[in-house]
Amino acid sequence: MNFASDNSYGAWPEIVAAIGAAAAGAVPSYGDDALTAKVRARVAETFERELAVFPVISGTAANALALATLVPPHGAIFCHGESHIAVDECGAPEFFTHGAKLVPLEGDDAKLVPETLERALAHFQKGFVHHVQPAALSITQSTELGTVYRPGEIAALSELAHAHGMKVHMDGARFANALAHLGCTPAESTWRAGVDAMSFGATKNGALGAEAVIFFNPADARDFEYRRKKAGHLLSKMRFVSAQLDAYLTGRRWLEHAARANRLAQTLAAGLSGVRGAGLAHPVEANAVFAYLPDATVARLRRRGAAFYDWLPSSDGRTLVRLVISFATPEEDVKRFLEVANDE
């Protein structure tokens, strides 16, 4: 019963098979191989437009490299205070951008709204050399609290960001889960809604370690390739990252895995709603459930082998826990978790 993170699980058999198929023979290294070219085409097709795409092996690298390409050292990056880039990357964006500043904003359910961004922007005087300069907005889709931005919500944020000369970045570590929830196309929820660049994640949804940094306007990619190399993220045997992304984007598997995880999250959420003393903390839209559980329930679940994180320390006899469903979480585990939760 592992609900600690979607990255606690391994990889799809199809992705493992793709690794094996890519292992034979000699091909050009550092991404000049045919498989990497195929991935570029696949991503372009997926998003229905010409774009620049670069495989990397971690979400932190994807985010930090994308942001560093878009933002100067004297720039400000606006993001939610709970965002992965602000909280969980040990300052990677600051390192890669050579010291740009992340401006943490508040917002219900880890989502930003234009009003909050606008208020924050009022503190930055354009061209005033003492202030870092607004350069990018970064949103997470699905968010760190398991919620999902609608295309219209993204469009409203993008419009405001662009009006202030900022670029819009999407941390799409769980983009598949968001898309499965929305039921719209990749294009509709990204560049058609004003997103300029994104970290397109495959790892959490079943790759070994594969993410794609996408610039919807290829000109924005500028010196990305030098930054990736300089950061040790240009792999000599790139074929093995590309093989993962190629298998990942074959057919609709990536969306089906995400949809299944989302469904199990709904099942889990519904079940927990019925647990005495329990309650959901945020809307469950993707593959994560944030629930307040009685401390005794939390203890019992752990005793019976459930793994998950406390999101906040216990308060008033309840603890906010995070439960994440991966592409491979057994349905059985969800059932058993609910049984144990109800087994007072």
Q: Find the binding residues for its own copies in span 310-329 (CB under 8 A).
A: 313, 326, 328-329
* Cα(147)–Cα(181) distance, integer angstroms: 10
Using the rule CB under 8 A, which residue among 37, 41, 99, 344 binds its own copies? Answer: 99
∠ CA(64), CA(189), CA(156), 5° rounding? Answer: 90
Q: Which two tokens stand for residue 21?
A: 């198929």
* Cα(79)–Cα(58) distance, integer angstroms: 20
**340 touches its own copies by CB under 8 A:** no
By rule CB under 8 A, what string of x and - marks binding of each residue 144-183 to its own copies?
Answer: ----------------------------------------
Which residues, 202 to 221, sit near its own copies by CB under 8 A? 203-204, 208-209
**11 touches its own copies by CB under 8 A:** yes
Using the rule CB under 8 A, which residue among 37, 41, 45, 98 binds its own copies? Answer: 98
* Cα(50)–Cα(322) distance, integer angstroms: 38
Give which of 207, 208, 173 is closest to 83, Cα–Cα: 173
Give Cα separations from 328 to 9, 12, 145, 266, 270 (angstroms).
Answer: 7, 8, 20, 16, 20
∠ CA(291), CA(295), CA(300), 5° rounding? Answer: 95
Smallest distance from the beta carbon of 191 to its own copies, in angstroms? 24
Number of residues in contact with its own copies under rule CB under 8 A: 82
Which residues, 217 to 256, sit near its own copies by CB under 8 A? 223, 225-237, 239-241
Smallest distance from the beta carbon of 54 to its own copies, in angstroms? 11
**309 touches its own copies by CB under 8 A:** no
Which residues, 40 to 79, sit near its own copies by CB under 8 A? 56-62, 64-65, 72-74
